[in-house]
Structure 1
Amino acid sequence: MSKKLTFLDKTFWLTESEDNPKHVASLQLLKMPAEATKDYVDELAAEMRANDQARAPFNCRVKTFLGYPLKFVPVKQLDMDYHVQLHSIEDLNDKPSLHKFIASLHEPWLARDKPLWQFHLIKDNNTQQFALYIKIHHMCGDGSTLIRWFQAGYSPEPIVTGFVPVWSMDRTQRKRNKVHWFKAAFGGVWGFFIATKDLIWIIFRLLLKLLRVNTDYMPLPFSGTKTVLTGQVKKGRAMATLDIDFARIKALSKRLRASANEVMLCVFDIAVHRQLRDYGHTFKKALYTNMPINLRKPGETTYGNKIAIVPVELAHGHTDPYLRLREIIENHRKVKRAAKVSHPASFSYYTLLIQTYAIIFEMLGLSNWVKPIANTLVSNMPGPKKRMYYKDSELLAAYPVSTITPGGGVNITMVTYNGQANVGLVCCNNKIDSLEPLRRYCLEAFEMLEKCVDDPSLSIADIGEEIDQDDVSIVDDEPFIDKNNNK
């Protein structure tokens, strides 16, 4: 059965290039069962290839007319040697080498004449672990969709017999009650009217902010700062992963009266500033992040994309990490308040509006000449709360590896699994060597934020980030003391 594509789905196909593919991925680490032989991964790959009967969208390619995508249509036969591939590396425990290898798999785009997904099994000869790198085109689904599929492909107990990969599972959607055509048409027109009205209001409020009439609103688009991490996206990727105990994140968010997302926004902001300083970039003004907003209704399980992405101002200039967090909280909640009073579709239209400009700049090769919409994209998604198994192998961690937004920057995605926050970092590597420093800086920034609750004397400078002291106000509580201890 064919499947129509929404306009948002189609944009991921139309704007894709070999320099900036539009697939998303997951790096998953697994532990073999105790009784596994040395041929376990080879046998698992063969078993996966034998499951060549797939269901939508895993059995569908994109039908096009003059390059324009029309819909998903089924293929007669899957090329399982393409969709399931086996690799061998020296040592899975060598994280920098593993990250570099995954980056090489993440760089090329998926074959456009085939169903848009791949499973890569990665083994070594030194451990009882192996890895799965899974990539699927973004037009097949957003983060919410992919997390559901991820959970469906795993089980809470080991499966010895009867294992079925996710692409072969029956995902027949529940039939909905038919709505009368007049009610559906009227509802659609009315919804479009309300969403358009709210979009006009959003643009009007942004215009007032541009004119400095009312600055208490969402940030203006294309306010990001040019750095070595932004600009024209080209071939080449750098990626890294990290883990943080999610119980620590929740405990810290409770003590700081912040959401877990706001705590991690502060952590990533401090870490990105520090990585940029390694390349000679220091800024007195704040950086910006793109924030995805899920537009699905509660319980909605359709696949495809239903998201909006809007910029959020972060913070800079405070040496006290707690004060930086409070600034980020206020800026983050400005966007949340704007989203709460607007029709969900209006934010989707706003996303399409600003992303269209960014895409045009990228297609014309002009991204280096304009400011990016934002400097990072940070998102988080809840995953399984308990231990899961892929067939009879225990899942140890699942790191998301996303696509790069037009204008570049670092894409940071966090998925919670079994009490851990698994974080994936990815960017274009044309101007930087590695994201391994950013991985370390994130961990150090989180520890700094934990410690500052009980020790107010701690500052960003204690973990290496320098902030200019030229602008100390005459109304500061304490006088500035220089490094020679002269007041």
Structure 2
Amino acid sequence: MSLRKLSLIDAASLRLEGRDMPMHVAGLMVFSYPEGLEPDQQKAFVTQLVERWRREIRVSYPWNQVLTRPSRWQLSPATRSVHDLDLEYHLRQWALPEPGGEVELGQMVAWIHGLRMDLRKPLWEFHFIEGLSDQRFAIYVKLHHALVDGISAGHLLVEGLSAGADEQTQPHWARHCSENDAETDSLSLPGFSDLKAAMGAALRLRRKDPELTTFASTPPSAINGPIGAQRRVATQHFELARLKKVAKEAGATLNDVVMTLAGGALRDYLINMNALPKESLTAALPVSTRKPGDHSVGNQVSMIFGALGTNVADPRERLAQITASTRAAKSFLQNLPEGATVPYSLMATGPFMSSVILGRAGHGRPIFNTVISNVPGQREERYLDGARLLHIYPVSLIMPGVPLNFTCCSHGKFLNFGIIACRDRVPKVQRIAVGLRRALEALENRP
């Protein structure tokens, strides 16, 4: 029996698993039914697809991986391969109540997303959702963060679909995984100089810094605090061309515009609650440490931190503040030696993660207010047995003290936002999704 030892970052994702903090990420894929299907054929389409996929018993990496011990309390966690999947467990079928709009879809996904995974089984689930309006259906796919990060999860889901509308699509777990895709990242031990640089960078994040957004820059806010087990999920999407036009005119990046939309939406949300802090909210910004062309499965990510400009009323001034903040953060990370990146990431967030594991997080001053992540996608059309993929929305995770997460992913002509929040801590999260649209309109209409 061959074992695959989890990397340090993968293992950390397993150890953080808790009652109110399941450590899985997900993708919500929304499809239009194949052209030419009559209403009764559309109704049978998903059922027939599920039945066909449940008959596929071939399974490849990483879908065949199961923990050797079904517990987060282990010193050196590892996985082993299995070949006898219970596909009735891994594939579920649901139907939305009328009218089958975005609200009903978000409510169902929020309920499923709040359910913890069974650590005794391979750490993935497919949920087929019928009853969407406008001749659509959806598939919500849940994967544990110990197996994948956002980039590798998005790659697995989209690349598992067909490139042509006339192809029959294999189940994702039957798709052959190349040797490179299945490769685990073997991390060499950092040298003394790397550890010294990582320690210095991590300590800098704990002090006030006139040039850099640090943990000391983060104000307390109404959206921060302990979390419960239930979730809220909302989605939003925009044409990439609109966002890139705003970025080009301002000399900013697409990610800067994304942060500006989140900052504008949160500003309006907190003003309506009469709870807007005088200082700008801050965000943790995961950044990939993958080399170009690397599609391996697993977690390869570091973290920078930026201001969201929630204390700035003018949207263009907010974008300028955010651009300056992210440039300083990127320079800070890029100036680290290559071997210091992973130890820096562990040292920077280590005390917070330890407080999460010990159940003490969420009761003091937050080290950042929210998380904003942009997962790269692809422009090519994708199909599932002739059904066209319209949007893929990332559904990430939240943590005690940081009960709100924005993750976006591009597909085709659109950038798709998935917003996840603690149900108790961040009420009416749909207002934030609407606020993103208003924030973009404000940027576009500001001379």
Question: Taking structure 1 as the reference length, what is the TM-score of the superposition?
Answer: 0.84
Q: How big is each residue's C-alpha offset from its partner over 1:315-371, in whole Å with a ceiling of 9 and x where there is no partner?
A: 243332211111111111111001111124433323322433223333444334211
Match of 1:338 in 2: 332
Whether 1:275 aligns to 2:274 is no
Q: Give 1:26 deviation, angstroms.
A: 1.1
Q: Give 1:424 deviation, angstroms.
A: 0.5
Moved over 6 A (4+): none
Match of 1:10, SS state, is helix
Q: Give 1:3 deviation, angstroms.
A: 1.9
- Compared with structure 1, are the counterparts of its residues 99 and 188 closer, same or farther at alpha carbon in structure 2 (3 Å cutoff)? closer
Match of 1:50 in 2: 55
Whether 1:135 aligns to 2:142 is yes
Larger Rg: 1
Over the aligned positions, Cα root-mean-square deviation in angstroms equals: 2.3
Match of 1:154 in 2: 161
Please list every run of 5 or more consecutive structure 2 residues that lacks an aligned counterpart in the other structure.
none
Q: Give 1:272 deviation, angstroms.
A: 1.0
Alignment of structure 1 residues 437-452 onto 2, 5 Å: 437-452=431-446
1:13 partner amino acid: L
Please list every run of 5 or more consecutive structure 1 residues that lacks an aligned counterpart in the other structure.
177-183, 455-487
Whether 1:290 aligns to 2:284 is yes
Alignment of structure 1 residues 3-14 onto 2, 5 Å: 3-14=4-15
Match of 2:402 in 1: 408
Q: How big is each residue's C-alpha offset from its partner over 1:99-125, in whole Å with a ceiling of 9 and x where there is no partner?
A: 111100100111110000000001128
Match of 1:376 in 2: 370
Q: Does structure 2 retain, via aligned residues, the 8 Å contact 1:57–1:72?
A: no
Alignment of structure 1 residues 86-105 onto 2, 5 Å: 86-91=93-98, 93-105=100-112
- Compared with structure 1, are the counterparts of its residues 134 and 334 closer, same or farther at alpha carbon in structure 2 (3 Å cutoff)? same
Partner Cα distance (1:238, 1:374) in 2: 20
Q: How big is each residue's C-alpha offset from its partner over 1:353-405, in whole Å with a ceiling of 9 and x where there is no partner?
A: 24332233334443342112211111112212022112221111111000113
Match of 2:195 in 1: 196
Alignment of structure 1 residues 65-464 onto 2, 5 Å: 67-68=73-74, 70-91=77-98, 93-124=100-131, 127-161=134-168, 163-174=169-180, 188=188, 191-203=190-202, 205-206=204-205, 209-210=207-208, 215-221=209-215, 223-452=217-446, 454=447
Partner Cα distance (1:125, 1:96) in 2: 11
Q: Give 1:219 deviation, angstroms.
A: 2.7
Q: Does structure 1 retain, via aligned residues, the 8 Å contact 2:58–2:83?
A: no
Name the count of aligned residue pairs: 438
Q: Give 1:293 deviation, angstroms.
A: 1.4
Partner Cα distance (1:196, 1:14) in 2: 23
- Compared with structure 1, are the counterparts of its residues 431 and 233 closer, same or farther at alpha carbon in structure 2 (3 Å cutoff)? closer
Q: How big is each residue's C-alpha offset from its partner over 1:245-280, in whole Å with a ceiling of 9 and x where there is no partner?
A: 100011111111100110111110111121122222
Match of 1:19 in 2: 20
- Compared with structure 1, are the counterparts of its residues 243 and 125 closer, same or farther at alpha carbon in structure 2 (3 Å cutoff)? closer
Q: Does structure 2 retain, via aligned residues, the 8 Å contact 1:24–1:403?
A: yes
Match of 1:465 in 2: none
Partner Cα distance (1:113, 1:216) in 2: 48
Q: How big is each residue's C-alpha offset from its partner over 1:30-80, in whole Å with a ceiling of 9 and x where there is no partner?
A: 111124412111000111111122112211111128731521112241110
Q: How big is each residue's C-alpha offset from its partner over 1:202-260, in whole Å with a ceiling of 9 and x where there is no partner?
A: 145447x54xxxx3443332643333322122211011000111000111111111001
2:29 partner amino acid: Q
1:165 partner amino acid: P
Partner Cα distance (1:61, 1:249) in 2: 41
1:109 partner amino acid: R
2:179 partner amino acid: Q
Q: Give 1:97 deviation, angstroms.
A: 1.5
- Compared with structure 1, are the counterparts of its residues 172 and 131 closer, same or farther at alpha carbon in structure 2 (3 Å cutoff)? same
- Compared with structure 1, are the counterparts of its residues 43 and 175 closer, same or farther at alpha carbon in structure 2 (3 Å cutoff)? closer
Which of 51, 69, 74 is the aligned partner of 1:64? 69
Partner Cα distance (2:134, 2:313) in 1: 43
Match of 2:116, SS state, is coil
